[in-house]
Homo-oligomer: A and B are copies of this chain.
Amino acid sequence: MTLPHPTTDQISLPIVLAVLGDPTRLSIVRYLARKEGVPMNCSKFLDLASKTNLSYHLAKLREAGVTRSEAVGTSRLITLRRDDLDKRFPGLLDSVIAAADGDKDLPAVGTAEVEVSA
């Protein structure tokens, strides 16, 4: 955790909702939820937006307290702050993700289930 993150009780409902109310960011969150536990780096999301623009959206998610970004070498490992969100807003994340999974208008990311390990 190198970059500034809000503490759990600093996470604000309207800000979280506004941040999730953007299709690009909602897609990122949905993908992080599907791959929970596996930290993602930004390049996973390059099909959603340009590198610069992703940097912007990922900063918004981090500043809202939705994700955690850890600097590791030249990468950022991004994870969902599920525990914190569940503590602060019980049930919210689950219902948002469930709703997002059923929304075919959201841009998909990582739908090709190819995992080249080692």
Contacts and interface: CB of A to CB of B under 8 A. Distances in A.
A74 interface: no
Interface of A: 12-23, 26, 88-92, 94-96, 98-100, 103, 105-106
Give 5 nearest A-B pairs by CB, closest first: A18-B21, A17-B21, A91-B95, A89-B99, A92-B95
Contacts of A20: 14, 17, 21
B18 A100 contact: no
Contact of A96 (B88, B92, B106): B92
Contacts of A18: 17-18, 21-22
The A interface, classified by DSSP as helix, strand, loop or mixed, is: helix
Contact of A13 (B90, B91, B99): B99
Query: Interface centre among A16, A17, A90, by most B CB within 10 Å?
Result: A17
Contacts of A13: 26, 96, 99-100, 103, 106
A95 B99 contact: no
